[in-house]
Amino acid sequence: MNRSTLYYKQRPKQVLHEKHRKKIEDIHITRPFYGYRKMALELNRHQIPLTRKQVRNLMKQMKLRGIKPKKNTSVKNPQHPVYPYLLRGKHIRYPNQVWCTDITDVKLPEIGFVYLVAILDVYSRKVLSWRISNSMDAGFCEEALIDALDRFGTPAIFNTDQGSQFTSYGFIQILKDHHIAISMVGQGRWADNIYIERLWNTVKYEDIYLQGYENLRSLKQGIRRYFRFYNRDRFHQSLDYETPNRRYESFQKDQTVAA
């Protein structure tokens, strides 16, 4: 038998940085939105030289977390039907072959988070329709879908995630009434809807973050102005530097000439 095993006496676990816990609690009460990074900076301001890693471990032990809004744009409803993903290995060759949609959130100083939905033609990257709402109901998604169908016709396939807005009875019924094949990405497979995800990144970095909209009215005006620029004037690298409008309309012109 090993000697250390026989004579070992367990010592009480040492609690590290015990004297700083009270200060962390005080800061968390007054600034509950601070995560461990800002908490470390605040402690350093008070001459408490803890590293980010030390503060992160302390806050984890104390079960403290910075308050922040959680993304809630793709919550699945287990009672709604789910459809298979139809785009694996499919080559997108013409406009209105595949449309896709998604929701993103935008934070406004006056009212908090609002939600933006858009309908995108995958072949041309053209934004066909969009709506903004301050609630997550399916109504504004249905409005955007109906508007796109009225203005641009019917796609062969419509691709969405499994969010409850897109699996709701009303949204699904609109697609069925127009005999559109329904495709849904798997849970956590954001890359299956990559075209609309790239659109959100573009919109936020080229417009929303730069403009700093203060209220819902200015946001709607700004998004309308940006999408007009995006469709008509913005060169798109993946389209060989064509604009979405030109790619969408040129195919239709070529088909007319060929006929």
| Tally of domains in the chain | 2
**Domain encompassing residue 35:** 17-68
Q: Which residues contact 132 (CB under 8 A, 6 or more apart)?
A: 106, 114, 115, 116, 117, 140, 216, 219, 220, 223
Q: Please state, in angstroms and rounded to a whole number, the distance separating the CA atoms of residues 94 and 254.
A: 11
Domain end residue (candidates: 68, 84, 111)? 68
- Give the pTM: 0.69
Q: Does residue 80 lie within any of the structural domains?
A: no
Does one domain contain both 33 and 133? no
Does one domain contain both 26 and 115? no
Q: Does residue 90 lie within any of the structural domains?
A: no
Does one domain contain both 152 and 63? no
Which pLDDT band holds residue 259 (cuts at 50, 70, 90)? very low
Q: Does residue 61 lie within any of the structural domains?
A: yes
Does one domain contain both 166 and 254? yes
Q: What percent of the chain has pLDDT above 70?
A: 87
Q: Please state, in angstroms and rounded to a whole number, the distance separating the CA atoms of residues 204 and 211.
A: 10
Q: Per-residue pLDDT for 19 more than 70? A: yes
Q: Does residue 78 lie within any of the structural domains?
A: no
Q: Please state, in angstroms and rounded to a whole number, the distance separating the CA atoms of residues 203 and 78.
A: 31
Q: Which residues contact 140 (CB under 8 A, 6 or more apart)?
A: 115, 117, 131, 132, 133
pLDDT at 11: 72
pLDDT at 75: 57
Does one domain contain both 108 and 220? yes
User: Domain holding 193: CATH number?
Assistant: 3.30.420.10
Q: Is 23 exposed, middle or buried (0-12, 13-18, 19+ CB in 10 A)?
A: middle
Q: Does residue 105 lie within any of the structural domains?
A: yes
What value does the mean pLDDT take over residues 198-217?
90
Q: Per-residue pLDDT for 64 more than 50? A: yes
